[in-house]
Amino acid sequence: MGEQILVVLQQEAGKVRHVALEALSLAQHLRPGQVTALTFGPGSESARDVLGRYGADRLVSLNHEMFASYSSDGFAEAVRQVENMVEASAIIFPATAWGKDLAPRVAGLLEAGLASDCTEITSDADGRLVAIRPVYAGKAFATVHIDSPVQTFSIRPNIQSVKETNRSAEPLSCPIELSAESFQSKVVEVRTQATDAVELTEAEIIVSGGRGMKGPENFKLLDDLAQALGAAVGSSRPVADEGWVPHSYHIGQTGKVVSPNVYFAVGISGAIQHLAGISGSKYIVAINSDSEAPIFKAANYGIVGNLFDVVPSVTKAVLALKAEQ
């Protein structure tokens, strides 16, 4: 199984994020019939049916209680051992907060090259994988060749197409040996906000606000538009730093990198750090009263006007269109 691609996934109670399905579909396209999925934690084996439908030929479920909480060093050592047993020549991680922490640790243990936050992965004439990833804050894209025996990659969410198949994943046993000393760091508590909002990195549409919103109370305008569109709400960094919205809303070079179909930039000037986080958007719609704002140079569509008039009008128009359908 030396040409195997190992896809390392995060699951909770058998549920996996959409980026996991993207990674599996990509791996199956690159090496048909040679895809092994790896999941962690109690109940991880219950994801076998859905993982098989989207590209996993085999599934390794490390469902021991020791994997109930994330441990960067413990999980990394587990991935190293599984890679050795399945003889994978490539490993794909999601470029989520979880994957961005785990991927470089695994690459270090394997002394492997890592291409992170990839927007595309292809094969060269020799069957080796080649990655394309953004550089210089999204202003350019680099083609990355990794010459180490094992190649490691992380893929940006909401970039790859997903293809459902009729295959099923065969359970694969990989007995690993880990002691308590392997888990030096461990997540002891996770605090989440109860919300039905769409996860930013996987949202098809994002409505994002900046300083032009003038205060936290005005984000209700964006909430209404997002609800009408079935979108997620985000923000620029200054807004999150001011405490107007949670830091989980922050989109940009030092925040979340997003790739929606449509990105509404409302009252956002368009600093380079913010543009770096939205460069993967298919369409950018800018709403700003300043016709000289840098955001208009990156936008596909622009509305120059008072956002407090424009946003409610857009929301009203969206609701009217939905009522006609």
pLDDT reported for residue 186: 78
For the cut 90, the answer to whether the pLDDT of residue 76 exceeds it is: yes
- pLDDT higher at 197 or 54: 54
Structural domains of the chain, with CATH: 4-182 (3.40.50.620), 200-324 (3.40.50.1220)
Q: Which tens digit of pLDDT belongs to each residue from 96-112? A: 989 999 999 999 999 99
pLDDT reported for residue 47: 87
Return the amino acid letter for 237: R
For the cut 70, the answer to whether the pLDDT of residue 193 exceeds it is: no
Give the whole-number percent of the chain exceeding pLDDT 90: 72
Average pLDDT over residues 149-160: 94
The DSSP annotation for 236-297 comes to -HHHHHTTSS-GGGBBSTTSB----SEEEEES----HHHHHHHTT-SEEEEEES-TT-THHH
Within 10 Å of residue 219's Cβ, how many Cβ atoms? 20
Q: What predicted TM-score, i.e. pTM, was given to this entire model?
A: 0.85
Q: How far lies 177's CA from each of 38, 39, 204, 281, in Å? A: 16, 16, 41, 43
Q: Which tens digit of pLDDT belongs to each residue from 25-74? A: 999 999 999 999 999 988 888 889 999 999 999 999 998 888 888 999 99
For the cut 70, the answer to whether the pLDDT of residue 197 exceeds it is: no
Record the tokens describing residue 187, joined without a space: 């997540």
